[in-house]
Amino acid sequence: MILVTGGAGFIGANFVLDWLALSDEPVVNLDKLTYAGNRETLATLEADRRHIFVQGDIGDVDLVQRLLLEHQPRAVLNFAAESHVDRSIHGPGDFIQTNVLGTFRLLECVRKYHADLAPAAQQAFRFLHVSTDEVYGTLAPEAAAFTEEHRYEPNSPYSASKAASDHLVRAWHHTYGLPVLTTNCSNNYGPYHFPEKLIPLMIVNALGGKPLPVYGDGMQVRDWLYVKDHCSAIRRVLEAGRLGETYNVGGWNEKPNIEIVRTVCALLDELQPRPDGQSYAGQITYVKDRPGHDRRYAIDARKLERELGWKPAETFESGIRKTVAWYLANATWVKNVQSGAYRDWVSRHYQ
C-alpha cells in the first residue's frame, strides 16, 4: 500500500493510473479536490478496490494520522500542491497554506508514524516529495542546465513556496532521520492537463476560435517532459533512490514558448483543420508579460540517468502528437473541466 497526495491532479492522477496499470499494490489517494483536482480523471478506477479515494487536506493532521494508522503505507508520495504560477501572483496565500504549512503538517504526521513502525517496516519506508525545477530560478541563455547542486533562487510565490517545502523535507531527513527522497522536474505535458497551463490552454483556445495568448515576446524557454516519463522517474526514485538525495528529472527538450505554440497549431492544422482552411497560428496574440517571468529553465538529468538508469520513453515530437490527439479524443473531459470557476479565472487573468 502506498499513500499518494494530490492524486486527482494532473501528474498525481497520471501517476495513480500508471501505478495501478503496472502493479496490484493498492493506493490511498488523498486529495482536497481544489479547482485543479478532478475525480473524472480517475473514473476508470471507480470500482477498483485497489484505489481508495479520500477527499481531504494534507494539512488536516487528524485525517492524515488516521489514514496512516489505518492503511499502514510503505511509502507516502507528496504530489499535492497549489501549482500554477499565475494564480500564485494573483493570490499567494493558498500557496503558503498548502505548499509550506501543508507539507510541514504532513511531514510531522509521517514522522510520528515512521517512528512507531516496527524496525523492518521503518527500514523500508520512504517519503517522496515531488518538486519542481522552478526552485532554481532562471538561467542565462548560455548557462549550463540546473544540476542538483545549483543554488535555490526561487522568483515567484509558487516557486518560493515549493523551495520552502523542499527545505522542510530536507531538514526532516537531517534532523529526524526521516527517509526522504525529492524529485525536481521540469515542465510536464500530456493527458489530463488542466487548461490553465500553456499547452492545454492553447489547444482549447485554438479549437474554441479564441486568441492564443503568448506572454511578452514568447522567447521564454521551458524544458518539456511527457507526464508519463515523469511518473516513471518517480517510480524509479521510489524504488532505488538514495535516502536524503534529490534527483532532477527532465527530457533535454528546451523550447521557447512561441515554438511550442506554433507546434500545437501545426498539429491541429493537420489533425483537425479549421473550417476556413486557415492555420490556427493566425490566432496567436502577444499579451502583457507575466510579472517576474523566469526567462529560461533547463534540467540536467544526468544524475538520475547515471545512478538509476532512468531514460524518458518519449521524444518531444512523439509526446506532443499524443497529447494533441488525446485532447481531440477527449472533448467531454475538456468540456467538463471548463466550469464556471475556470471561466472566471480566464476572464479575470486575460482581461
Q: Is 6 in the site for ligand NAD (CB under 6 A)?
A: yes
Residue 31, binding choice from ligand NAD, ligand DAU, none, Cβ under 5 to 8 Å by partner class: ligand NAD
Q: Which residues is 136 bridged to in the sheet? A: none
Residue with cell 486529495: 31
In angstroms, the CA 75 to CA 127 distance is 6
In the complex, minimum distance from the CB of residue 11 to ligand NAD, in angstroms, rounded to a whole number:
4
| C-beta of residue 79 within 8 angstroms of C-beta of residue 162 | no
Say whether 35 is catalytic.
no
- State the catalytic residue, choosing from 57, 82, 133, 294: 133
Strands 126-132 and 187-189 come out as: unpaired
- Per CB under 6 A, residues contacting ligand DAU are 83-85, 132-134, 186-187, 197-198, 201, 213-215, 220, 222, 257, 290, 297
Q: How far is the CB of 94 from ligand NAD (least distance, A)?
A: 8
Whether residue 133 lies in the annotated active site: yes
- Per the annotation, the verdict on 25 as an active-site residue is no
Q: Which is nearer to ligand DAU, 201 or 304 (CB)?
A: 201
Q: Give, as ranges, the residues between 166 and 195 that touch ligand NAD (CB under 6 A).
A: 185, 187-188, 194
* Contact assessment for residue 186 and residue 299, using Cβ atoms and an 8 Å cutoff: yes
> Could you say which of ligand DAU, ligand NAD, none residue 85 binds, taking C-beta under 5 to 8 angstroms by partner kind?
ligand DAU
* Catalytic (active-site) positions: 133-134, 158
Chain residues binding ligand NAD by CB under 6 A are 5-6, 8-12, 30-34, 36-37, 57-59, 79-83, 98, 102, 130-132, 162, 185, 187-188, 194
